[in-house]
Amino acid sequence: MGIIHKLKPEIKDFILEQKKTNSRISCRKLSGLLQKKYQIKLSKSSINAIFKNTGLSMPVGRRKRLSSSKPVKETLLQSPLPATPEAPSQERSSGIIILKAVDYLLGGSQRFSEIIQRKIGTDQKDILSQIERIIYGALYMSKEEETKSSLSYLNEFQYVTEIKSDMALQFSNVFRETRNIKVDLSENEVLYLDARLHTIWSTPYTPYDFDVTTSNISSYIHKHLQENVFLLGMAPVNDIPGKDFFDFINGLYGQEKSILKFTLCGNNFEELEVITPPVDQRCYCVFGAWPWQFREYRKVNKIGEFNPFYFSGLKKYYYIAQVEIELLQPIEQQRVTLIGVALKTALAEKARLLILTNLPAESVSYEKLADDYLNRWPNLEEGFEDFNRKIELFTYTAGLKSSFLPPKINLNKAVSCDVKDLLAVYSHALDLYLKCYFAPTQLQKDDSPSMKECFYGLEAIPKKEKNNTFITFSPPAGYPFPQELAYLCRRLNERELFLPDKTRLRFCVI
């Protein structure tokens, strides 16, 4: 241990950062990392001495085994899992919260807890807590730690055979995917929306990367209809405003045409669910338009002065000005007048986006219009570039669909597992779903690092501010995946993720 004082500060900093990032990292593992990164060999005792001097050392000796005589509930609460986001302003968390956010989006843990609660009558919040500990523990804990921890709480119920059967049936429902939304109009006309609601399509052959779960898009459409406002990412990316686009706007408003039904379609265009709007209900549309779109077919009737607008979701100031624009559809000679805002990120630059709507002018709050749009589509040009990349990828692969689940994970056979193993299967499927739909393409290859290697061990700092809970990642020096982490956060922020306290979950990197 006499060599410790001779170490370069950067080496000590590296050791301490690794320990802070992953409190359970071993001295043996750190010794290997040091040899690989700095070509030096440092003994385990020397590394532990550094920890001791900074108050980060682990107790000497074998870890105490959890006693099986204690109540199972108490034992589980002592499991070394990351803090859940129930009290985000008080505790630090870990990167496993990324996985938990996707679980909230899919609703798997919630469904499983409802099944168990109906069978045994135990408090659902307590059941949900136990389920989450098993799900996230399967990925977060090492095999040795998992073995030492008592995770048999749910298996001790006498109703377990009935419970696991019902839970297994929910697996396919949780991950059932919608590819697009078929919109039937009066006069026997049809158009399509991709399931992420980027834009309007004249064909059902939308990219598979835009798939979402059926329950997610179903609740989203119902929400739109209740609020009487349908929010799309952008107008179709064409040189000319399309007939389908005008038909959708007019169909929502119910002027010349009306929308008869929304049909959620699977990957083979099978009908999964039909949503019928209330008769004679007027619904309006909000969408983004890029400054280069429809230049020959739009007339700017009015544009006001640009004023600062603070968007709390990104903690960022924008500048917005009221606009009124008239769009022409030249083939049908249709015209529509739209109001909205032009948006800038700096006064000296040109407008980056037009946020437009056919809402009546007297009912529009322009700040709320900008806020609502940015809440759903916060990434502007970068989001559009990602949209284009996925269309190109879909074209290059000839529209082939591959499941995010490998063949060895058969959700339909999960009923043969006990409850603990069934939840571990769900945990693995959740991890693969996150990798497929939120990670950048380079992390989706077979030989790429796992999501656990890339993200789950990071420290995450939650902070609640008004209606938002911000999860901030501050990766250590030398962290190898900064661009991948930033990409993942941007994709998550495009989805409506809410915590049990109703705050919007948002991810950022510093």
Q: Which of 396, 407, 411, 474 shows the shortest CA–CA distance to 441? A: 396
| Pairing, β 229-231 against β 284-289 | parallel
- Segment 480-500, tens digit of pLDDT: 999 999 999 999 999 988 887
- Greatest Cα-to-Cα distance within the chain, rounded to the nearest angstrom: 86
Q: What are phi and psi of 183, to 5 degrees?
A: -110, 115
Q: pLDDT band for position 278 (50/70/90)?
A: confident
Give, for 97, the enclosing helix (H) or strand (E): helix 96-106
Range 258-270 burial, b when 16+ CB lie within 10 A, else e: bbbebbbbbeeee
Q: Which of 413, 418, 411, 423 shows the shortest CA–CA distance to 137? A: 423
Residue-range domain boundaries for the chain: 4-53, 72-175+405-509, 177-393
- Segment 57-69, tens digit of pLDDT: 544 433 333 333 3
- Segment 134-149, tens digit of pLDDT: 777 655 544 444 444 4
100 secondary structure, DSSP code: H
264 near 271, Cβ under 8 Å? yes
Share of the chain above pLDDT 90, in %: 47
Q: Which of 414, 408, 424, 409 shows the shortest CA–CA distance to 146? A: 424
Determine the pLDDT at residue 408. 53
Task: Using the predicted structure, report yes or no on whether residue 316 has a pLDDT greater than 80.
Answer: yes
- Segment 193-228, tens digit of pLDDT: 999 999 999 999 999 999 999 999 999 999 988 889
Architecture of domain 4-53: Orthogonal Bundle (1.10)
Residues 180 and 266: their CA atoms lie apart, in Å, by 7
Residues 322 and 427: their CA atoms lie apart, in Å, by 47
471 near 506, Cβ under 8 Å? yes
